[in-house]
Amino acid sequence: MVEMSFCGTRYHGFQKQKNGIATIQQTVEEGIFRLLGERAEINGCSRTDAGVHANSFIFSVSLKSPINERGLIFGLNGVLPKDISILSCRRVGGNFHARFDCSGKEYVYKIHNSEIRNPFYENRIFRSWYPIDEKKLDLAAKDFIGRHDFKAFCSSDTDKEETVRTVFSFDVSRSGDIVEFTVSGDGFLYNMVRIMVGTLLFINDGKLSQDSIPKIIKSKDRTRAGKTVPAHGLYLNRVFYD
């Protein structure tokens, strides 16, 4: 069980692509081969979209090498690109799977709420110049909490037939000119977090009413929800296991 963090700007998401485009999975597997001379497939806790980042991402891998945990951490950090960092690792039972054993995830979406762009936030935080009322949106976000059919809040490209998910919490807070949308749940559909944040921004801008979220959920109609905000503001923040 390995924990890593990464900046997703240069990568086409986590999952390997047949066309050879750089992904996190491909890059880490190549790093394992460079370190150990061993071809191993890693299983990630989430697919993640292109450009999405992770403060904490868990993957599982079975290795033949006798390398210990400390050796794997520092060895991989020595061969991986500087935008991927191995944080920790520990041995677990052979049946453990980072994705299938995951009981929940927490995502954070970050917005730089300023008329002036910050060059250090480029590709790291989404900028929105229109004033954001974080207290208003924090109240509206609570309407997402609970077990619902979130079909209206997922991309039409989703491959999931089952669109019912449970949202444990959803908070909107501000620190200076950074507004954070923090949501946790038992699982998320394709683009679900980005569409929920986009819907809250529509409420902030007056394009949707304050009480519109329950109605949109009930409608199961993607066209009634807000925009899909850009991927570069999204971070996988924590992964939960029982």
Which positions are annotated as active-site residues?
49
3 state DSSP class of 79: helix
For residues 160 and 187, the answer to whether their CB atoms sit within 8 Å is: no
- Give 97's Cβ-side CA count (13 Å radius): 5
Please state whether 123 falls in left (phi above 0), alpha (psi between -120 and 50) or beta: left
Largest CA distance in the chain: 59
10-20 in b/e form (b: 16+ CB < 10 A) is: bbbbbebeeee
For residues 86 and 69, the answer to whether their CB atoms sit within 8 Å is: no
Question: Residue 202 pairs with which residues in a beta bridge?
Answer: none
Instruction: Compute CA 25 distance to the chain's CA centroid, rounded to the nearest angstrom.
Output: 15
Q: How many CB atoms lie within 10 A of CB 6?
A: 24
- Cα(8)–Cα(100) distance, integer angstroms: 23
44-58 in b/e form (b: 16+ CB < 10 A) is: bbbebbbbbbbbbbb
Q: Phi, psi at residue 184, to the nearest 5°?
A: -125, 150
